[in-house]
Chains A and B, each alone.
Chain A
C-alpha cells in the first residue's frame, strides 16, 4: 500500500462548481499535512497546511481526520484558474511524502 494515496482524476467540473478531493495516508505517526498545487510543467507550490481543527483560506477548505487517516480539500466556486494538479503531502518529520496528485480541470 502506498504511503499517500490520491485519486488521480481528472476531475472535470464547470466553473462555479464545488469539488472535493480526498487523500489517505498509511502512517499513523504522520505529523504534518499539506496541500500543494502544481501547474503543468511547473514546481509544486504550497496551497495550504492542514490542521486538526480544519482550516479555510478563501474558497479553499482543508480538513484532517486522524482517526480515519485522511485529509480533504474542498474548493468552492471553482475558477478556470484552479485547473491544476493538487498534491497531498504528509510529513513524519521533515521529509514529506507526496501523493501522485489529483488533476482538476475547470471548464467554462
Chain B
C-alpha cells in the first residue's frame, strides 16, 4: 500500500513568489493534516481536513497560507507571497479515523 506522498520534495523560491505544495494521503484516509517544522523548532500543527472540509485551521500562521482539498482526495498548501520565515519542512499526514497519523516525507521549502 502506498504511503503519504508529497510533492515537491524540495522547493527554493525567492521572497514574494508563490509556492504550492501537494499532499496525496493514503487511499481511504478521510483525515489529512498539515504540519510545519521551522529549523530548530518543534513540529507545529497547521490544519486538519476531514474529507474536503477544514475541521481546524487554528495553526495556520496568517492569510498568506491557503490550504485546499477539493474532492476530499489530495490537498494543496499555497503560500503567497512567500516570506523568509516561511522556510522549513512542511509535513502532511493522514489517518483513517482520528487515530494514528502517517506522515509523508515532507517538502523542504527554502525562501531566499
Say yes or no: A45-B42 contact (C-beta < 8 A), given A94-B31, A94-B48, A95-B56. Answer: no
Cross-chain pair count, CB within 8 angstroms: 38
Who on chain A is nearest to B106 by CB? A43
Interface residues of A in 33-47 (CB under 8 A from B): 41-46
Distance A95 CA – B32 CA, assembled complex (angstroms):
11
CB pair B103–A45 under 8 Å, yes or no, is: yes
Q: Encode B62-73 as 1/0 by CB contact (under 8 A) with A.
A: 000000000000
Contact (Cβ within 8 A) A98 B103: no
- Contact at A96–B101, with CB atoms within 8 Å? yes
- Separation in Å of the B74 CB from the closest CB of chain A? 17
Interface range on chain A (Cβ under 8 Å from partner)? 10 to 19
* Distance between B4 CB and nearest chain A CB, rounded to angstroms: 8
Q: In the complex the two chains form, what is the Cα distance from A99 to B105 in whole Å?
A: 19
A44–B98 contact, CB under 8 A? no
Cβ < 8 Å to B, chain A residues 52-79: none
Q: How far is the CA of A98 from the CA of B48 in the complex (A)?
A: 16
Task: Identify the closest chain A residue to B105 (Cβ).
Answer: A43
Q: Is A4 an interface residue (CB 8 A)?
A: yes
At the interface, yes or no: A97 with Cβ under 8 Å from chain B?
yes
- Residues on B with C-beta less than 8 A from A100 are 41-42
| Interface residue ranges, B against A (CB under 8 Å) | 31, 35, 41-45, 48, 56, 59, 91, 98, 100-106, 108
A residues neighboring B (CB under 8 Å) = 2, 4, 41-46, 49, 87, 93-101
